[in-house]
A and B are shown apart, each in its own frame.
Chain A
């Protein structure tokens, strides 16, 4: 008898397979494209936020010298904040889709490895973030005469640091849900807002009390928003802030990956992969 497909596959089973990552991205894409309300929802919130803060920005520019100095500072802030929020939500919601459909059992008796699954969650988060934030950023140009893309090349650095920080937060939420079950589901929608006050999204870190400034500066997000304001107000690129953001992201991603792997291992100890769901 010739070797079965399975026998052939076993001998060509790589430790990390881009094809399996792609299969999982395809799975989430099928889900997204199958529901136009979900698609619309992705762009709806960032757009509404941008419009709201756009008008606040216009009003503040006429009454505040600080805002007037930095064209579109509040619009930039809200759009970049949404990159962080969407980045985290993209990981958490895709994970929750598996919990809602009780699909983890099937996934992890297939050759899919946890690292490939996480890579797919990150990939889908990137797609969801782009779908959500780019239309809002484009709409800001005709509505308020301000283009986020005027930030230039540093925008790519800001975007990358914020989405990676969002992924770290998303991984921690996945770890907590794997550990505590669906009772922890609500964290997916609230965790990121705990960080908003200390991320100095709409105001400089210097506004915060001294002890809270240290907390703020231990987060990559605060460095990104400080860097963004440096460009908008002074026209200077603060490489020190970018370096801090990258370094802290490496640290957070390492810690959050460890938390995820520990939680995944514990799920195998407790049998949660087969049983967890709604």
Chain B
């Protein structure tokens, strides 16, 4: 692994995704973005609906092929050699559920074997205990509440103790208590494992709490980047939500902030 790959868990260069053709009406979902994510960091990917967050995550996972540009994850070219990186990473999204008719134990067991774990049964029970899922292990996954499903999805995402965890809205539609529990668990996992986490979220409090670094997306482009504190200072705001609204509505707080935002995105 080269020095760059050690420093950066993710490196995207001029990453572009265009759907459709010029004749049928092409849509550019991601428009030439370049960014790096430092190894061991928690980075937030923020943007309104349709900003390109899910498309970007799909390309990082190798599920979606970019139209142009390159994407390296853990030093691996995800277009050509994604299978070298996949055992070292994992993904969770409330929008991609595990099979409903299988029990929690069955689902986790199948994925444990797919990730080639040793001692699958032990690992499943260990995670179930950590995530307070033990009493749900024999229940069909489809019959769980939103909070329980999120914990099961997180258990699946942590089965292989990933070095890189991609999370798409990890606390979407959860009550504050459950959401706080999930965030605390993620903080602990990151502290104990040193893993890199990239999370897409619409919850600004979550981003302020968890993230060292934030990438702001709008219309397929990264329009700003910085630490939560740095963004607050640059936009002269007291909450990240106001910064988000400034960016989403293209109303940067004065020319200086607009210019600095452009510099930061570079």
Contacts and interface: CB of A to CB of B under 8 A. Distances in A.
B194 A10 contact: no
A22 interface: yes
B209 to A, nearest CB: 25
B96 A111 contact: no
Range class of the A interface residue count: 35 or more
Interface stretch (A28-36, A190-198, A224-232): A28-36
A238 interface: no
A269 B65 contact: yes
B125 to A, nearest CB: 16
Given A9-B115, A105-B96, A268-B65, A4 B19 contact: no
Interface stretch (B3-11, B99-107, B236-244): B99-107
A34 B105 CA distance: 13
A10 B87 CA distance: 5
Interface string B89-110: 1110100111111110010011
Nearest to B193: A4
Interface string A1-40: 1001111011011000101101110110011001100000
Nearest to B29: A271
B97 to A, nearest CB: 6
Given A111-B83, A268-B64, A106 B193 contact: no
A27 B108 CA distance: 10
Interface in A235-273: 265, 268-271, 273
Contact of A13 (B55, B116, B156): B116
A17 B113 CA distance: 10
Contacts, number: 128
A101 B99 contact: yes
A270 B19 contact: yes
B63 A268 contact: yes
Contacts of B58: 271, 274
Interface stretch (B31-39, B127-135, B157-165, B255-263): B157-165
B114 A13 contact: no
Nearest to A20: B114
A13 B110 contact: no
B96 to A, nearest CB: 4
Contacts of B88: 4, 6-7, 9-10
Given A109-B61, A110-B115, A27 B97 contact: no
Given A9-B117, A13-B116, A19-B116, 4 more contacts: A9-B116, A13-B83, A27-B106, A106-B111
Interface of A: 1, 4-7, 9-10, 12-13, 17, 19-20, 22-24, 26-27, 30-31, 34-35, 97, 101-103, 105-113, 265, 268-271, 273-274
The 8 closest A-B pairs by CB, nearest first: A23-B113, A9-B87, A6-B88, A105-B96, A101-B99, A27-B110, A110-B114, A30-B106
